[in-house]
Amino acid sequence: MKQILLVDGYNIIGAWKELRALKDTKLLDARDRLIEHMAEYQAFMGCEVIIVFDAHLVPGIEAKEQKYKLQIIYTRENETADERIEKLAAQLINRRTEVIVATSDSIEQWVIFAQGALRKSARELEIEMELVETQITKEVRTIQSTNAHSKIPLTQEVAEIFEKWRRGLK
């Protein structure tokens, strides 16, 4: 079954401690950091992630973009992220697609739940993201701890010469 996570961007930014602190100084940095987190989440969890941002915080025309294999939607003026998420959930839900909406807006949670989507609070997503980052860190350390082994046996002297070349040293 295909899984799609719809993320209410500014709701999550306002709920996560790290992003809330960034938002107070630079909203764009908080938005970029959320996008980076969700890219890691998508890659690790293997689900599709769509982030929706309200136009009322950054006025302008409706826009869609792909970044880090994520779909990012900026709603048109006078359209809330909640409205767009409700429309998307209705379009995407079917027998082979499970839609999960990440928001702490309780009214939005009830609306999408009534449509057949699942809900995930901002706190639940934050905890899940922390677990994903911990697991990624463990996997990176495991990969780094295993030394690359050459299939061609080299003497220590030749291996040191190759290592100097690799590092750009003479």
- For 69-87, the pLDDT digits (tens) are 899 999 888 888 888 898 8
pLDDT at position 105: 79
Third-level CATH fold of 2-167: Rossmann fold (3.40.50)
Phi-psi sector, 111: left (phi>0), alpha (psi -120 to 50), beta: alpha
Q: With b meaning 16 or more CB within 10 Å and e meaning fewer, what string describes 72-98?
A: bbbbeeebbbbbbbbebbeebbeeeeb
Phi-psi sector, 93: left (phi>0), alpha (psi -120 to 50), beta: beta
pLDDT at position 58: 58
pLDDT > 70: what percent of the chain?
A: 91
Comparing CA positions, the residue from 11, 108, 92, 21 lying closest to residue 53 is 11
Q: Is residue 57's pLDDT more than 60? A: no
- For 141-158, the pLDDT digits (tens) are 887 777 556 567 778 888
pLDDT band at 124 (very low <50, low <70, confident <90, very high): very high
